[in-house]
Homo-oligomer: A and B are copies of this chain.
Amino acid sequence: MTIDRAQGVASAQGFRAAGVAAGIKANGKPDLTLVVNDGPATQAAGVFTRNKVKAAPVLWSQQVLTTGKLKAVVLNSGGANACTGPEGFQDSHATAEKVADVLGVGAIDVAVCSTGLIGERLPMDAVRSGIDLAAKELASGADAGLAAATAVMTTDTVPKQTAFTHADGWVIGGFAKGAGMCAPNMATMLSVITSDAQIDPAAVEPALRSAVEFTFNRLDVDGGTSTNDTVLLLVSGASGVAVSEAEFTEALSAVCADLVAQLQADAEGVTKHVTITVNGAANDSEALAAARIVAQDNLCKTAFFASDPNWGRIAMAVGNAPTDFDQQKLDITINGVTVCRAGGRGEDRSAADLTGRDIDVVIDLHAGEGSGTILTTDLSHAYVEENSAYSS
């Protein structure tokens, strides 16, 4: 099993991709991505934002995915097409129709994703001409995957892609974008993942749900679940290799985890990669809820930015979690040093060195067997700068 970030969404057999500059972004950077599944299978599944305010492309893609099949995905940056009313939905529909025309498929075979500023209509002339351009550039392989990963970027500073290759010859590859609004239940986060494995059609959606639950949904940059979050999985079966649901899910989870690590590393204004693990909760879901509370706490996040092993703030934050524990049993370990033991001062906080990039926080509630981990970042001046300067 190999994970290779030089490969991406167009590495699995049966897939082509392109990323072009369509003129949707005012600055002329790449802004339109097309991913095509040439089959033979056209199995697909999606996981979407749970935000009650859903962008038009999310509503469109949820609708077309009720068939369990997709032949193409078109994505644009430069505009979220969210809070754009019925006209915005018509724009997503028209985008799918245009792709369908160019590829000779049905609009119902085409998912649409958008990212960028909320509340503005898309420049549909640019979208249409961009689709024509992208269709001409469709190709397989590393370069096409990278172009596809690049054209979905907003405040991302680097494209994010990876691919897994099994010794038996089947592949899962994909890209992701996202920098702010990274949160529980999906970030401002678009990801398309492709595979040429032959798998049971009934396994596609469960495999994706499981992989997302333990990867994308464990990243929390700033608690903001966006209007557009989407992860799509397309399966061509073109490798001819039959793969079990368990094996496929494991490989898919590895691909998702690698994309999530890249999202965390490129989060807005990040200077620290923080891992919050809660052990000893009554159950896993309470552990996860407690880890999220700490990950979202601005006082903890500013302390991480300061490389300050300020365990009092962590104790304060975990005390606000919807999980029961006895404060006299609380242990907090930061980068291997148990600075809080049995609810009070443990080893001296100066022993915990947080000056490096990685901060590992382990909280033990001693209230049960549940555990859970959330990945997060610090809250830096650069986060404030980027998010106060960018009207997203």
What residues make up the interface of A, taking CB atoms closer than 8 Å to B? 50-54, 80, 82-85, 87-88, 117-120, 180-181, 222-227, 296-299, 302-303, 305-306, 308, 310-313, 315-321, 324-325, 327-328, 330, 340, 342-345, 349, 379-381, 383-385, 387-389, 391-392
**Beta-carbon contact of A315 and B118 below 8 Å:** yes
- Measured between beta carbons, the chain B residues less than 8 angstroms from A180 are 299
**Beta-carbon contact of A392 and B84 below 8 Å:** no
- Measured between beta carbons, the chain B residues less than 8 angstroms from A227 are 312, 315-316, 319
- When C-beta atoms are compared, the residue in chain B nearest to A322 turns out to be B52
Q: How close is A330's CB to chain B, nearest CB, in angstroms?
A: 7
The quantity of this chain's copies bound in the complex is 2
One of B223, B317, B383 near A297 (C-beta < 8 A): B223
- Measured between beta carbons, the chain B residues less than 8 angstroms from A312 are 80, 82-83, 117-119, 227, 392
20 inter-chain pairs at a CB distance below 8 angstroms, sorted by A residue, are A51-B320, A82-B316, A83-B312, A83-B330, A83-B340, A84-B344, A85-B328, A87-B344, A118-B311, A119-B311, A119-B315, A120-B345, A224-B313, A224-B316, A225-B316, A298-B383, A303-B391, A305-B384, A306-B387, A310-B392
- When C-beta atoms are compared, the residue in chain B nearest to A118 turns out to be B312
Judged by DSSP, the binding face of A is loop
Q: How close is A302's CB to chain B, nearest CB, in angstroms?
A: 4
Alpha-carbon gap, A379 to B83, bound state (A)? 25
- When C-beta atoms are compared, the residue in chain B nearest to A52 turns out to be B319
Q: How close is A305's CB to chain B, nearest CB, in angstroms?
A: 5
Alpha-carbon gap, A22 to B385, bound state (A)? 41
- When C-beta atoms are compared, the residue in chain B nearest to A340 turns out to be B83
**Beta-carbon contact of B299 and A118 below 8 Å:** no
- When C-beta atoms are compared, the residue in chain B nearest to A82 turns out to be B312
